[in-house]
Structure 1
């Protein structure tokens, strides 16, 4: 069954939220904390090693209760059950949306068109385990008998961004294999990768559901031509692997059918890193760590599906985002991980969020008359503090921020981590509470700059009142990263339900592809 089509602006709660906003737009975080000494305790919750604090938002209990009422009125609970149960909620493409099934360890079957998909998933996982173990152990040999040293993932979009981000984020756990990613059709990009590898010891993974994606197939053909300058067509099977649905096209390329890993049309590209698309992850960090990644995501899946909305992390984060997007008119939201390992996480979320919810037509086929997807951007702290954070502290725009941090470092440089963590909390405090005119005046006096007060005082005042969420884990592990990614997946799904849009198609992406193909033919 498809999702129910409920226009949010026509609900009773939306009107109440609009009225409430007339008061809430004047909320000052400094005052909200002064009035309620228990605010942080009341507006935070934990899930195992994860602690989420959303107290530094321009909300009260009344705001949250109204937003929770909106979630009920748009039948979010019904949507979540259909999401997990294999209903074809991707109506425009007549597909189920079941990336959650890829990390499910329960024995409960999940049916699509009357067929349980769990056996397919388990079979693929067994194949991934056997293959990755063989390559990592050195038993898989190249055409000259040498073991594999390098992996090149050839894909684009979800077939690149997800695996690339995870491999980068978990490089602390990497084995001896070197992993590279080719995505852009820019020939300079592929040339730089080829300079780093040897055809004798490199394994290429071509990831394309249709095996017709222009960028991926063009890059794969270029790499095969490069490979064949040193090897023969009979050696392709030792060095090329495919993740695809199109068996015939893969076979025509020259890849052995035994080296094909399956893809399913009920897994969208930007949610596919949990599937065989994650083969490069398996090879980079080992199958056991890949399984931990799945387990972390499953932990959040169960939380999202079974926890009441008032204690539900993805739901609360989604509702707060809707509050700023649709009532305050905030156009962007920043993702700020305080770990250099997560450097690629904001870019990954850009695709997941903006390709999913960048829609101007609702589920009834009508053009929306309200804002939908937010613009997602960010970087890593502390680097961002010396780059674009000035805009948040002194600028004129409202930009909600998600701060992502970890209590422990991985390399045990405690002095560094203490300073990093100090910055993590200081930025949240500075954004929320700023610096008053009186405090700035006193600072200038203490610093013996009394003679400059009249000149400098306006520049030393910070209004604050900038909202943020604190998402804090014990440590960056495959499990915690799985949790983090799943939180945002379900946040994005919840937003799409509220906005009454289809989050799982991407026709805007297809238009550019069609025009690019026509232009190629015209050259």
Structure 2
């Protein structure tokens, strides 16, 4: 059924448009040791009732059960999406032993490396979900007592791999090759370059310093990696959900096994909250409902993420991949066109840098965008005046977006500095429309447990939004199409490229002329 002809959807839409946010009504949800403040999102009893009915009609309870119990969550590929099982103490029996065996192997590898002081440096090669998860966790949690140095290379641009290897000692460097298929062009190209670097550094058996993280062990063995150095995950783990799997190996090597376990525990706590909390007090469900309301009904086309913590710089691109790869669809589970706007673009950067970059647009543009603000109560440094300023800026920007500022208020402020006519003219430029929605997520502090909970919060938000919109958040056919075309272009075969447009053929020919000179 088309959403706009669904009575439950229409009731939800009507309730959203009639509701408002009351700045004096505090709406807090405690979840996984995080606090989610929804006070600047629309709310009413009618809206809450309509949301519950919409979730029921969409089959939310059944979909959530299938997610955790191994049902077919990914319809187009006919498989479950069991990333939650990777961190569960009660994983479905069908996968429990597989997960336990790989975790035990990972731990033995980390313990052995620590016991014998192996690998001062770890270079992680992956892209997309095989890269953003460990990269984001490392940059969020690394400190002065890290066990090892981690570097990352994802892009096929050779500047990435050369920068990752630059200055390292090949004798004390581990190369991790992370690819679900173990055929990913960027990753395998960088892996071959890293092996050459080891060889040029005097390493006689470079593959002894290579580890594979993959769902295709046979391909890793064919590449030359010994079976005991291959750590497996599975096709029911999407790349953007894979940090909880063996893809977390660099985190365990760089930050310690205990840190990796705490990351899993934090996500596990959020899973429990998501499974047991009532709808009105269920943080992922409420985040999803707000996103659906803001996007499909109120017309916002993007969503801004502003962590007021410099350590969370990589959180934004991690979330971009999670949300936009999951929800960037135009058809529902049955293949029918979706008749409402879905999947807002995700963008942002940490505050206060963001205030001097795009907050002018957020405050005074015609439309603006909803914002997720994130901050930690306790800093990991002793410069408390900095932290007070940081949090004050976060709260002030959020308040200003909602409160707004009228022309009359601006005029009253300006008339003491300017003549009346100029003050009236200038006041028009100082108008802040206000009423712009936001969510505030507060962490007691940024540690592995709270970070794990934060990541799982957004994973479940994306899942619920997929249920409400009726789409599949676990496939990514658009990505696959582009990959296939790139492979065709790399063949340098006129028969393979004749169906491409004139511009593509022109620039491909130019590329081939340049690269042939270098060979």
TM-score normalised by L of structure 2? 0.91
- State the Cα deviation string for residues 18-51 of structure 1 (Å, max 9, x = none): 3345545xx5x5xx33xxx4x11xx222235321
Alignment partner of 1:313 out of 259, 278, 283: 283
- How large is the RMSD of aligned CA atoms in angstroms? 1.8
Equivalent residues of 1:204, 1:240 under 8 A apart: yes
Q: Which ranges in structure 1 are unaligned for 5 or more consecutive residues?
A: 1-5, 141-147
1:71 maps to which residue?
Answer: 55
Q: Distance in 1 between matches of 2:288 and 2:423?
A: 43
Per-residue CA deviations over 1:148-192 (Å, capped at 9, x if unaligned) read: 211000111100011111111111375131101111011122122
Cross-structure match for 1:496? 466
Q: How many angstroms apart in 2 are the aligned matches of 1:189 and 1:109? A: 38
CA distance in 2, matches of 1:467, 1:109: 37
Q: Confirm whether residue 510 of structure 1 aligns to residue 480 of structure 2.
A: yes
Q: Runs of 4+ in structure 1 displaced over 6 angstroms?
A: none
* Corresponding residue for residue 138 of structure 2: 167
Q: Of 55, 60, 65, which aligns to 1:81?
A: 65
More displaced, 47-56 or 76-85? 47-56
Gaps of 5+ in 2: 493-511, 513-519
Matches within 5 A, 1:138-149: 138-140=116-118, 148-149=119-120
Q: Which residue of 1 is the match for residue 121 of structure 2?
A: 150
- Distance in 2, Cα, partners of 1:231 & 1:389: 52
Distance 2:431 2:293 in 1: 27
Residues 1:347 and 2:329 aligned together: no
Match of 1:358 in 2: 328
The yes-or-no answer on 1:249 pairing with 2:219 is yes
1:390-436 residue CA offsets vs partner (Å, 9 max, x unmatched): 00111111411111111110113111111111111111100000122
Work out the CA distance in 1 between the residues paired with 2:143 and 2:456. 21
* Contact 2:198-2:206 at 8 Å conserved across structures: no
Q: How many residue pairs were aligned? A: 492
Does residue 422 of the first structure (1) align with residue 404 of the second (2)? Answer: no
Instruction: Please give the alpha-carbon distance, in whole angstroms, between the structure 1 residues aligned to 2:284 and 2:293.
Output: 14
Q: Counterpart of 2:256?
A: 286
Paired with 1:205 and 1:16, the residues of 2 have a C-alpha distance of 51
Bigger mean CA deviation after superposition, 149-158 or 126-135: 126-135
2:41 matched to 1:13? no
Change (3 A) 1:152 1:174: farther
* Corresponding residue for residue 263 of structure 1: 233
Paired with 2:313 and 2:91, the residues of 1 have a C-alpha distance of 37
Residues 497 and 173 of structure 1: CA distance in aligned 2, closer, same or farther (over 3 Å) = farther
Say whether 1:117 aligns with 2:95. Answer: yes
Inter-partner Cα distance in structure 2 for 1:324 and 1:381: 23
Tell me if 1:61 matches 2:32: no
Aligned counterparts, 1:166-185, within 5 A: 166-172=137-143, 175-185=146-156
The 5 A counterparts of 1:339-418 are: 339-418=309-388
In the aligned structure 1, how far is the partner of 2:53 from the partner of 2:184?
Answer: 43
* CA contact 1:11–1:73 (8 Å) conserved in 2: no
Matched, 1:464 2:434: yes
